[in-house]
Amino acid sequence: MNYTLNQLQIFLKVAQSQSITKAAEELHLTQPAVSIQLKNFQSHFDIPLTEAIGRKIYITDFGKEIAEAAAAIIEQAYAINHKTAAFRGELTGKLKIAVVSTGKYVMPYFLADFLRQNPAVELVMDVTNKREVIRSLEANEVDFSLVSVLPPKLAIEKLDLLNNKLYLVGHTARQFHGQTPAAIFRELPLIFREAGSGTRQTMTEFLDRNEIPHIKKMELTSNEAVKQALIAEMGYSIMPLIGLKNELFNNDLQIIPVKGLPITTMWSLIWMKGKKHSPVAAAYLAHLEAKKDEIASDKFGWYDGY
């Protein structure tokens, strides 16, 4: 059989996500490229690996066994690479981080230099909602988590990276001058993130704390979805500034002045108190402690203008 390690990786990702679209997104490939490699991989076997019903793909029992074998082979391949790098005296191993969804606008900038300096380090980063981020931290599945709202009942240590500022945001078609928060929120349809989102929690606490009546228009499960809804003039939302750079610069969205905003929290890298870090995790933490202020100034200088 002449299948490649790349084909094994693609099939494993398809099996894990049960979606060619999601596999393509996670592998940073096009859907046609994933489909072609999946077809080429299937050509090595007489028994079907997948089954398509309607628009959904399912993994057959045989496919599940091949996926398990693929995972073991890929793990061994990584082990070989790690051993080779370690023999050369390079830092090697996995760095595992769970990031709340809006954190995808923050975390890459605090990772890039470290990964360039340590090419043998393998990054495993899960971008999900706050609830799942905290669960994976408690379960010791990750080295670190990036959050903007600290978990109140968890014994953690933290390293603060960057201020997180949340504003009321909407389309530029309408201008606002001098209205009170109560007046604005009474007439504006508000778009919320889903339950379990840190942004949702912060937004709801602000409304409740100020006893502001509001219209709940809809609930969406990602900041990207909220942004597109705002651009389409479907409503307004309280959103983190960090993900709005292009939309503000292009005049697609505006910040609506409201007393009591912005809400300011902190993007913090957190880990369980007393956790014994791996050499890779310890090296990364040392890198951040030395470079975080420089990274924040260099990559987020635009942030101070708001």
Name all domains of the chain by residue range, CATH numbers in brackets: 5-87 (1.10.10.10), 93-162+266-305 (3.40.190.10), 164-264 (3.40.190.10)
101-to-41, 53, 136 alpha-carbon distances in Å: 33, 31, 14
Q: Are the C-beta atoms of 109 and 299 separated by less than 8 Å?
A: yes
97-to-102, 139, 146, 211, 234 alpha-carbon distances in Å: 14, 13, 8, 37, 34
Q: Are the C-beta atoms of 44 and 1 separated by less than 8 Å?
A: yes
Three-state SS at 249 = helix
Three-state SS at 234 = coil
Three-state SS at 3 = coil
- Phi, psi torsion values for 192, nearest 5 degrees: -110, 150
Q: Helix 20-27 and helix 5-17: axis angle, to 10°?
A: 130
How many whole angstroms separate alpha carbon 257 and alpha carbon 181?
Answer: 9
Query: CB-based contacts of 211: which residues, under 8 Å, 6+ apart?
Result: none
Q: How far is CA 230 from the centre of its chain?
A: 21
Element spanning 133, H or E: helix 130-138
Per-residue pLDDT in tens (0 to 9) along the chain, 306 residues: 688 888 988 999 999 888 888 888 888 888 889 999 999 999 999 999 999 887 788 999 999 999 999 888 887 777 777 666 555 666 788 899 999 988 999 999 999 999 999 988 989 999 888 889 999 999 999 999 999 989 988 899 999 999 999 999 999 988 887 777 777 887 788 999 988 888 888 999 998 888 888 887 889 988 889 999 999 999 999 999 999 999 999 999 999 988 889 999 999 999 999 999 999 999 999 999 999 999 999 999 888 888
